[in-house]
Structure formats: structure tokens, C-alpha cells
A = this chain, B = another copy of it.
């Protein structure tokens, strides 16, 4: 017996139609590449998305063709989110911080037909164009008169000229909600990057779930600042959830320094901001230096990599801003867990609550997770036992684009497929998950595991330490022993012995690193994460003093 409800596929076009009809006057504010502040509305973004859809039709694209973007966070990128996917094409957001060779590899692998780019990235585009034979059109996100006279790019269009030539009447097509809507490549620390291919259905379910009070709690009263790039897993889904809720959006463009971000938050009365720890470090640094306060910001979502406890404390205690510690992956659309308290925990003392806030949080409804041992057996939720973290859900991948890497899923006794996250975690009795390490970074010492993150957090708590990375080094007796690689703060001094002494009482004796290596910089990836693979490469001639 079937239900008798209206049959409507979950399509991204329904988001922009909703924002247009019910939140047409809602503001979209962007700091542009040009440096000025641009103001528009959801109705205008919807209108231009329809023009864009018509323009893509004019370029003779077929259903499912990939349209790449190399762009900052701004209103034109937002229009691409809806115009490209809504018309049945696949939005492929590209990370401009990648090496040109890697970028060209990804464009070719995805088979992008069109690339849209901010003028900032013209040199990058010129560097890769000759190696991208699938790309038939290059669209510069600018006015016609801003196009370079000699670009050497075949079929170079101005986005504004393309749109201006089109009607703003367009009927969004209806198609299977499982159709691909967008794609994003993992940064790929080993092997080639792999493509996660999202569907309209997965994107819409994620848009609902991400806006829930237990997730990012988004409403029509919010002004959202996605500092997290729109090329980084769909800016954590914020553009979609914002359209669903009619929230105001504020885009930082390329200006991610503390001063620019702070000024935008204040000028546009931002209530919620989302980004990775490195960006917040710059913001907090600027504010502490200048003695500034927030007047409207009430919460900030921190994800992308584990958030240092000191940062959570600074936001909470100094600035009265709730930190939503979140965790997810490119393969997860990306939201998996957010750390928000449960009913019974709201009456705990602040100190107890702060301990909970250090965890990555609880599974949003739609996501299930478990920790397993090496045999795949589920481990207890006691907050102590750690194991490989596996996840399931309708916005988690089942395979990579073109089947690269084979079937990534791990199957349980009931035949259910779980995606192995590559993280090692604990889950407590209340369902709060805490990442203890990446599987490949965990240090295996004498049959016991040492969390590299724990070791790094202790070093980071030392006033002279700017950045710390813990890696395991081969040891004849213990298999591996940890060392900590440290970048000192400018003008700050600390010696090896002092730092090792700092560990005493802060961790078990056998977990204290065997050595400290001071360096000028730790290699960072395109999304600001420490690249331990590259670091290990730098240390290939290093020998443990204890080995």
C-alpha cells in the first residue's frame, strides 16, 4: 500500500524557488575581488540563476555535464550553485590552492566542459588551460570590459555579458532526485585525488539536517558568514541551508585576514560564522591586539580540523560566542556531528559542559556512526575505548567518481555498508564522539596507541608554541615513538627540555615525546591542514635520540 502524498523530487532548484518566493528581499552581501562591497537579494540571485541556466543551454551543454568553478565566496559563486545544478548540470568546485598540475589532473578526471573563474585566478587558469582539452568554454566572473585583451584562452566569455544576453524566464526542469548535482575532490594525501559526487537528494536532506537546532541552527533571523570556502565541500552546505531558511548571507571574498573578517562581521551584523581553526586564529589575534568585541555574533562553527581547546575557551569566555565544534568530511557532504548539549547536560556546571564541548559531538539525525576494532567488531560507547570510526547515511558517499579506489565501504553482518572515515575516535555513553587521531597518524608504541592530537594540544598550550605536529618515528623496541615538531611564536623562546618537562602531569609518562624538533614552518595543505606526509618526508633522515 502506497502513501498518497504529492510526488515531488528533492531538487536544488526548489531551494532557489523557495528563497525567491518567500525570502525575495533577503540580503546577500559580498566583498568582491575588486575590494568593494556588493549588495543583492535572494530574488536577484534567483533571477540571475535563471539567466545562467539559459546561458548554459546556449553553450550546448548536456544534462550531467560538469561546470567547474575556481572562485572565492561571493554572490556570483552562489548563482553558480543554483544555476548550474538546478538546470541539471554538475557543479564542480575546484580548490585554487592546489598546484596547477594537480588542478589540471582533476579537471581532466572530472571532464569539466566549462570553467568559471574569478579574475584573481586568471594566471592559474592560463597555466592549466592548454592541458585541459575537455574544457570548451572559459567564463570569467566579471564585466565584459574587464576581460583581458589577450588572454590566450579559447572561448573566453564574460559572465556578466553572458547573463545580460539571456531571458530571466526559465522553467527549472524536473528529473530524478538521485541525479548528480555537484562534486568535490578530496585533497588526497595518498594517491590521486578522488571525486565525491553529491546528488540533489543528498544535498537537500543535508540542507534540512544542517539547519536543525542541534546542528548549525539556521533561521531567517540569521546573518551567516561562510568563511569556509565555497570550494571546500560546498561551504559545509551553508548556501543550500541559507536558501531553505532565507537567511542573510555575507561573503568575505578573498579577504580572510582578521581585520577584514572582523569588520564584515560588525558591519553586516553577522550572527553566525563558519570556518577552519586557522582563520579564527587570525581573527582572535586581531581582536586581542586591538581590544575588540563582537556586537552581534552569537555562535561560530569550527570544523575542518580539530579545534584547539584554547580557541574554544577564548570564544566562549572572552567573547561570549558559542563554539559549535563540528566534524565531517568531503565524503560526508560534509556534516556528521556537531557538539550541542543534551537536555540533562544543560544543568551541569559550566566546567563540566566545557569538557563536553571539546568533543566533536553527536550524530545529526540521518548519520549513524560506530567505532570498530581491527576485525570490524563494534566497540563500546564508554568514552575511553577507541577504534576506527565508520559512518552511514544518505549524504555519505557509496563510491568515488569513476569507481576510483574500488568499493570504499565496509560491510557489517546485516549487509549494511559503512564508510571508513580514516579517523580513530571514542564515543561516550551520551553519543558524543571525539576524534583521537587520524588512523595513519596514530602512534603505535609497544602495542598501545598514542594520539598525535593529544600530544600536539599539550604543546600548543605552552605560551611559546605557535604550531605543533606530532609524528611517530621508527623505534627498534617500541615499533614507534612520538616526537613533536614545533614552530615557536615570533620572539618567543623555549628549549627542548623545558617543553618535555611541560608534558609531565599532562599525559601518561610513556606518551611523552622522545624528542622536540624546532622548525621554521610546518607544511600546510590547501585547506590549511598540517601535511604530516610532507613533514615525514622532511624528517626522513631524522634519527630518534632514544633509538
A residues contacting B by CB (< 8 A) are: 1-8, 10, 15, 17-18, 21-23, 25-27, 63-64, 90, 171, 176, 178-181, 196-202, 205, 208-209, 211-214, 217-223, 244-248, 333, 340-344, 346, 362-363, 365, 368, 392-401, 414, 417, 419, 429-431
- CB pair A3–B179 under 8 Å, yes or no, is yes
Whole-angstrom distance between the Cβ of A145 and the nearest chain B Cβ: 35
- CB pair A219–B5 under 8 Å, yes or no, is no
| CB-CB nearest 5 A-B residue pairs | A3-B199, A1-B64, A213-B219, A208-B208, A244-B365
Whole-angstrom distance between the Cβ of A336 and the nearest chain B Cβ: 12
Additional 4 contacts, C-beta under 8 A, given A3-B199, A208-B212, A220-B340: A1-B197, A2-B180, A4-B180, A7-B398
| Chain B residues within 8 Å of A395, by CB | 5
Whole-angstrom distance between the Cβ of A268 and the nearest chain B Cβ: 11
| Chain B residues within 8 Å of A222, by CB | 343
**Residue among A200, A221, A333, A393 having the largest count of chain B Cβ atoms under 10 Å:** A221
Inter-chain CA distance A17–B369, complex, in Å, is 12
Known: A22-B363, A211-B212. A343 touches B248 (CB 8 A): yes
Q: What are 18 A-B interface contacts by the 8 Å CB criterion?
A: A1-B63, A1-B180, A3-B197, A3-B202, A4-B398, A6-B417, A7-B398, A8-B393, A18-B363, A18-B368, A21-B368, A25-B344, A26-B343, A27-B343, A213-B219, A214-B220, A219-B340, A221-B346
- CB pair A6–B365 under 8 Å, yes or no, is no
- CB pair A180–B25 under 8 Å, yes or no, is no
Partner of A217, one of B26, B213, B246: B213
Inter-chain CA distance A397–B200, complex, in Å, is 23
| Chain B residues within 8 Å of A90, by CB | 1
- CB pair A6–B394 under 8 Å, yes or no, is yes
- CB pair B213–A5 under 8 Å, yes or no, is no
Inter-chain CA distance A8–B201, complex, in Å, is 11
Inter-chain CA distance A343–B1, complex, in Å, is 43
| Chain B residues within 8 Å of A15, by CB | 365
| Chain B residues within 8 Å of A248, by CB | 343
- CB pair A396–B245 under 8 Å, yes or no, is no
Inter-chain CA distance A393–B214, complex, in Å, is 25
| Chain B residues within 8 Å of A393, by CB | 6, 8
Whole-angstrom distance between the Cβ of A182 and the nearest chain B Cβ: 9
- CB pair B213–A218 under 8 Å, yes or no, is yes
- CB pair A3–B213 under 8 Å, yes or no, is no
Whole-angstrom distance between the Cβ of A359 and the nearest chain B Cβ: 14
Whole-angstrom distance between the Cβ of A411 and the nearest chain B Cβ: 12
- CB pair B342–A221 under 8 Å, yes or no, is yes
Known: A209-B208, A368-B21. A178 touches B342 (CB 8 A): no
- CB pair B219–A214 under 8 Å, yes or no, is yes
Whole-angstrom distance between the Cβ of A3 and the nearest chain B Cβ: 2
- CB pair B392–A5 under 8 Å, yes or no, is no
Known: A245-B365, A342-B26, A431-B23. A392 touches B8 (CB 8 A): yes
